């Protein structure tokens, strides 16, 4: 009796585990077409639920213009509150804190404390970003672009398409994109596109193209690992282009902790020079 029960449970687990994936394919093994709402809900159901995320001893390589460096660091994201990053080249050079309303930077080399709004990051990353967008990128979540007050309502306006064994979620309809190639087209549309893996319903790529300024940003997620909270990408690549300016950042996360009890502090020394770039000052 026990053997039969164990066998039944084993088969049930296999069928249950496969059903979440196979139901999105037809009998020919082709990806099924589903509704926009179902795709968005499927991705949101796989969002990682956590109070914080700690990325310890991550590795990074970046190229911004002629500046090419490799560094290590630690990152602590406290959901909807703050993102603190420590950047080390031999010793710590920078400590950065992102909050919903401001950006703070401790420059250890120059002994400066810089505080400003998110325009500090716009030139570096070539797009307008806020706290919610940065948090969504780190957590591999959907977000609307350009910046909107209600991110969920913004995402609901996106339309989906079938790609090559993936789902595509786009801010612009395909027929709109085709019209933009016509010589007499005027306007400044923005294409924002997510590539979704149907096996795990995680975003594997995000592409953004501002046709007016010809700004492009491509984000790729890879090497997903299964954690107790769900799948998380341990490699992240960002590549941006605007006119003749380009940048790329490649990140590797070898130690990922959710709901960690560890902390990364952010304390400003009284000996540091204060550089206040907030718009209201």
Question: CA-CA distances (angstroms) from residue 190 to 216, 238, 268?
Answer: 10, 18, 39
**What does the alpha-carbon distance between residue 194 and residue 203 come to, in Å, rounded to a whole number?**
6
Q: Per CATH, which fold does 33-276 belong to?
A: outer membrane lipoprotein receptor (LolB), chain A (2.50.20)
Query: What pLDDT is stored for residue 14 in this prediction?
Result: 42
Query: What pLDDT is stored for residue 19 in this prediction?
Result: 43
Region of 184 on the Ramachandran plot (φ > 0 left; ψ -120 to 50 alpha; else beta): alpha
Q: Is the pLDDT assigned to residue 244 strictly greater than 60? A: yes
**What does the alpha-carbon distance between residue 238 and residue 40 come to, in Å, rounded to a whole number?**
23
Taking only the tens place, the pLDDT of each residue in 246-269 is 999 999 999 999 999 999 999 999
Section 106-116 average pLDDT: 96
Q: Which residues face 25 on adjacent strands?
A: 31
Question: CA-CA distances (angstroms) from residue 134 to 13, 109, 125, 141, 267?
Answer: 37, 25, 11, 10, 22
Give the number of other CB atoms < 10 A from CB of residue 97. Answer: 19
Maximum alpha-carbon separation in the chain: 76
Q: Is the pLDDT assigned to residue 3 strictly greater than 50? A: yes
Domain residue spans of the chain: 33-276
**What does the alpha-carbon distance between residue 50 and residue 219 come to, in Å, rounded to a whole number?**
23
Query: What pLDDT is stored for residue 13 in this prediction?
Result: 46
Burial class (CB in 10 A: 0-12, 13-18, 19+), 196: buried
**What does the alpha-carbon distance between residue 256 and residue 228 come to, in Å, rounded to a whole number?**
11
**What does the alpha-carbon distance between residue 110 and residue 4 come to, in Å, rounded to a whole number?**
70
Residues of the chain with pLDDT > 70, as a percent, come to 85
Q: Tokens standing for 168? A: 């595509």
On whether the CB atoms of residues 162 and 31 are closer than 8 A, the answer is: yes
**What does the alpha-carbon distance between residue 96 and residue 105 come to, in Å, rounded to a whole number?**
5
Most confident of 161-175, 185-199, 214-228: 214-228
What integer best gives the mean pLDDT of the chain? Answer: 87
Section 149-165 average pLDDT: 89
Q: Is the pLDDT assigned to residue 278 strictly greater than 90? A: no
Alpha-carbon torsion, ordered 162, 164, 169, 171, to 10 deg: -100
Most confident of 36-45, 122-131, 185-194, 207-216: 36-45
């Amino acid at each position: 009796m026990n053997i039969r029960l164990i066998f039944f449970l084993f088969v049930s687990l296999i069928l249950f585990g496969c059903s979440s994936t196979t139901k999105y394919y037809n009998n020919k093994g082709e990806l099924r077409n589903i509704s926009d709402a179902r795709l968005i809900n499927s991705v949101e159901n796989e969002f990682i639920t956590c109070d914080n995320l700690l990325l310890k001893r991550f590795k990074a390589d970046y190229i911004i213009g002629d500046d090419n460096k490799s560094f290590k660091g630690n990152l602590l994201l406290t959901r909807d509150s703050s993102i603190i990053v420590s950047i080390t080249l031999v010793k710590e050079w920078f400590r950065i804190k992102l909050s919903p309303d401001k950006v703070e930077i401790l420059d250890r080399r120059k002994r400066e404390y810089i505080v400003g709004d998110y325009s500090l990051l716009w030139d570096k990353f070539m797009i307008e970003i806020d706290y919610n967008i940065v948090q969504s990128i780190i957590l591999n979540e959907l977000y609307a672009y350009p910046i909107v007050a209600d991110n969920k309502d913004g995402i609901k306006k996106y339309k989906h398409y079938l790609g090559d064994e993936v789902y595509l979620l786009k801010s612009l309809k395909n027929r709109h994109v085709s019209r933009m190639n016509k010589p007499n087209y005027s306007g400044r549309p923005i294409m924002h596109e997510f590539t979704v893996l149907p096996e795990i319903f995680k975003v594997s790529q995000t592409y953004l193209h501002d046709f007016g300024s010809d700004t492009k940003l491509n984000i790729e997620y890879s090497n997903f690992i299964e954690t107790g909270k769900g799948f998380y990408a341990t490699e992240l690549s960002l590549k941006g282009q605007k006119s003749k300016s380009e940048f790329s950042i490649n990140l590797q996360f070898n130690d990922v902790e959710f709901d960690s009890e560890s902390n990364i502090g952010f304390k400003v020394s009284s000996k540091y020079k204060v550089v206040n770039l907030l718009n209201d000052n």
